[in-house]
Structure formats: structure tokens, C-alpha cells
Structure 1
């Protein structure tokens, strides 16, 4: 049985509870982060911690009840208590449970944030079949709210997008707005054309991926050309390669879009090489 963390206490998952008046439950008024664990060590914890703070500031949420050093220790303690080798640690912070339902934010002096962490074991996370063989995606309209740069728990439409993909015999969906791809349901999207990596520029339209930042840095260090701009579905279908990045998928090739094979319909040279570089570098820096 997993040990989880709820508001300062470690406990068995079966004993963990959150108030029915918690604003995360009532209003999706919360943010989250996912930190991958490889070989019992945390991948890019500092990046996820910094983005968590930014998300909370953007939503005018009160500060965490613990320091970042203490938060790191909570992550490490969950790894130890759950004997976690490969997997993820999910952290969710909400505006708390004021004791009743109201659209108005509660007074932060009277209502403390709710903070929950739990692990997911994923043996062989870095050696997945999708990472080797690639995934198929479909395109769907992007119907999410306008602040996708904030990593909130408002995940209903991305979840619906995953289900649309599964119903179409695919693995994931790329969302499209004003004729251009924004991102995947839980990942950033890329194409490769003539050796050039193309991905949408940072804005409020997409999540500022921690893995995205690392992969683009490693790509530039490896003398790969990177162009940050929006691209269309037609461009993607005519690309030589495509791939996604996320904290749990790392770098995963995309081999088919809306039933059209991308390139040869098999992973090309760029995405697997980037995956190799990324995993090698983050393992070195893991804490």
C-alpha cells in the first residue's frame, strides 16, 4: 500500500482524505506538478518547483506552507517510503477548504492551502515501447481556457482529448487553434523538417514545459537548429519527423497524424537521439 502526503502528514493512501469543501474539488482551483523518478532519483526537481511557484503566483494563491528545501525532502521521503525506483511523484496544491462554497477566494489568513503528494510506480519508465516505437496522434480543436501556461488541475478537456484519440485508434491528440498546433493533451509538440526542430514559441497558449526547456537546450548544445514558431497540421503531415516531450514521456516520436504517416511512418533519427541525450544528461543531474 502506498504512503501518501497530505497537509504535513504521511499516511497510508486508504486513510487520506480532503474536505468536500476544498476548492480544488469544487472549483478546480488548484495547480499541480509531476516530477519523474529514475533509479530512485528526482529528475529536474528545481524546474518543477520553480514552475509550481509561478503557477501559484499567477493564480494569486498563498505561498506553500513549507520551504522548497522541505518540499524536496518530502519528495525524497516518499521515494524512500514507497521504495520507488522508476515512476512519478504528483504534487497538487489547492486554495484550501474554507468550510463552505463561494466563488470569492477565501481569506488566506484564515484558509491554508491544501497540499497533497503521491507516487506512481512505473517500472522501466525510461525504456517504454512508445519511446522506442512512437505514437499515433489525431488533431482536435483546442477548447481550453486561455491561460494554458498555468499548470492547473483543470484537465477535463485534455482528458476528453485522450478519449477522442483512443476512440479513433490513436494514442494522443494534438490541439489546434487558429489553424496552428498548440500542444498535445499532456505534452509539448514538435516537428522536424530538413534537420530543423520546430516547436511553438512560449506564450500563454501553451504550458512552459520543463522537459521542453531541457530538450531544446540539449538540442542547441548538440548543434541542432531550433525554430520556435507555430506550425500547421499540414506542415506536420509533410514533416520528416515529429515528437512530443513531457516529464513522463521524455522524448517520444510521433509516427502518424490523423491517419497520415509522418516521414517514413517510423521514428526518424532526431527524436531517438534527443531522447538518448536527454535521459543521459538528466540522469547525471538527478537528485
Structure 2
């Protein structure tokens, strides 16, 4: 992790960053966040990330403490100060410090914290694939907002780990939504199928990039809900996300997907993504 943090517009050593116990992010999870990927010392797809951050802030009636343009400049300086070449950059904005009370406080300044972390590409997982367990999706109905309220995701992930799997695939009454911290796609008859970007899933940046790459490469794609049965019978399945890139799912609920290894569509998309990031 980088030694320098961005805290309310100032660059400070980590030990000098002080968050009040009356911060509403601590009381209520009243805040938002985003995780940017950094390749070659540069933010990956910053416009999509900032668009999502602004949309989430508007949905929560939370004031952005700084506009996206100046914030991007600050984040790029943070990357440079920490000499980060490959990794992630985490940004969190809470509503601010206020005595504990449910109504939205007036005249309170939002609190912004950002830091960097060295994080290599997940080469081993992308090559070998992961095993997943299906878990009922018990989250609220605004999963498109990237908020701090992640306890259902935490519990689903732990349930999968306890069962010997690597990740959880969430579903609502048998219709697959996404995973704990990533989106999911399956391949049917050579075509991609993924849940539409509505209120039931996070509008993943990597998800959008993969759909864009697929369209350019002539790979058909359909955005619609698909069932657990379709998942189990899929030719291929993979997750997409900032830290996982394009990682194949080789088994679900103890049953192999396709041939039990990454399929040709997944491999092609992995290569197209690697070309995009210059790897």
C-alpha cells in the first residue's frame, strides 16, 4: 500500500489521516466508493469510474466534495507520489461528521479518502479458473449504487469459502445477478449472456469494456437475466471486474462448466483485454 493518502484535498502520511468516530460512514455505512485499476502508472477507464461515482452520489443525495476533473488530477498525483505502476486506487466519500441521527444532516462537509495499493494482475486465476457456489442474493434493490453497505457480499463470500469454493454467484429466486465483487457472463452457442445493467447489479467498468471488445470482435452478446439451470449448462462462464479482469469459472456447485477449463471465447476476450492494457 502507498505511504501517502489523499485526505480531504491534502496529501498526508497514512498515520496522519484521522477519521472521526462520528463520521456517518462509521455509523450507517453512509458513503460511496470506487476502485480504479492502474496499469503502467495510469488510471484505467477513468471516465466510466467517475460517471458511476457521480451517479451513486446523486442517488444517495450525497454532495461530491470535488468535481471529477480536479479529482482525477489529484488521484493522478497520488499515483505519482506513491510511485505506483500496477495496482489499484481506492476512493471513499462519506457524508461527513455529524451526531448520530437518521435524517440527512445539513451543512456537513463530505469526507474523501483515497489511497493506492500494489496489486499484480491475477495471472494464475485467469489461467486456471475458479470454482463458485450459488448463493441467494439478499441485498437491497439498488445494487447499481456502489455504496459502503457490503455486509451481504461479505457473508456470501464467506459462505462460498466455507464450502470450499472461491467465490459466490448470487441469484434472486433462481435468476443469476452477479458475484460478490464482480459481474458474471456465460457463453451459450458461442454468444455472451449477462444480466442487464439495471438496479439489480453493479454497472461494472470491466463488464462494459468486455462488451465493447466483444462487439468490436464480432462476438454476439445479449443482456438479459439467465437462470441457474442455464448457468450450470453453459458452455463457458467467467467473471469480470477491476481486480479479476476476465477470470474463467470452471465449476459451479461442484459441477464442471463446459469442459472444466477456460473455453475459447473466454480466452479470446482475455487476449483482447490484455492487448487493450498493453500486456
TM-score by length of 1: 0.94
Give the Å deviation of 1:250: 1.2
Matched, 1:79 2:76: no
Matched, 1:138 2:139: no
Residue 216 of structure 1 aligns to a residue whose secondary structure is: helix
Contact 1:200–1:231 (8 Å) recurs in 2: yes
Give the Å deviation of 1:67: 2.4
Q: Deviations over 1:253-286 (max 9, x none)?
A: 11110100100101111112112212322449xx
Runs of 4+ in 1 over 3 A off after TM superposition: none
- Residue number in structure 2 paired with 1:193: 188
Could you say what the CA RMSD is over the residues aligned between the two structures, in angstroms?
1.3
Unaligned runs of 5+ in 2: none
Contact 1:44–1:282 (8 Å) recurs in 2: no
Residue 71 of structure 1 aligns to a residue whose secondary structure is: helix
Q: Deviations over 1:30-57 (max 9, x none)?
A: 1111100112111001110011000000
Give the 3 Å change call, closer, same or farther, for CA 283–152 of structure 1 in structure 2: farther
Cα distance in 2 for partners of 1:75, 1:276 equals 28
Cα distance in 2 for partners of 1:184, 1:165 equals 11
Residue 276 of structure 1 aligns to a residue whose secondary structure is: helix
Give the Å deviation of 1:5: 1.1
Contact 2:65–2:111 (8 Å) recurs in 1: no
Residue 84 of structure 2 aligns to a residue whose secondary structure is: coil
Residue 54 of structure 1 aligns to a residue whose secondary structure is: helix
Q: How does 1:1-287 map to 2 (within 5 A)?
A: 2-62=3-63, 64-98=64-98, 100-107=99-106, 110-122=107-119, 124-125=120-121, 127-283=122-278
Residue 196 of structure 2 aligns to a residue whose secondary structure is: coil
Cα distance in 2 for partners of 1:129, 1:260 equals 21
Q: Deviations over 1:162-204 (max 9, x none)?
A: 1111111111001110211110000111110110101011211
Contact 1:43–1:283 (8 Å) recurs in 2: no
Give the Å deviation of 1:138: 0.3
Cα distance in 2 for partners of 1:43, 1:219 equals 18
Give the Å deviation of 1:13: 1.2
Give the Å deviation of 1:65: 2.2
Cα distance in 2 for partners of 1:167, 1:119 equals 30
Contact 2:136–2:173 (8 Å) recurs in 1: no
Aligned length: 278
Give the 3 Å change call, closer, same or farther, for CA 34–283 of structure 1 in structure 2: farther
Unaligned runs of 5+ in 1: none
Give the Å deviation of 1:89: 0.3
Contact 2:196–2:224 (8 Å) recurs in 1: yes
Cα distance in 2 for partners of 1:164, 1:263 equals 24
Contact 1:96–1:113 (8 Å) recurs in 2: yes
Residue 75 of structure 1 aligns to a residue whose secondary structure is: helix
Contact 1:36–1:247 (8 Å) recurs in 2: yes
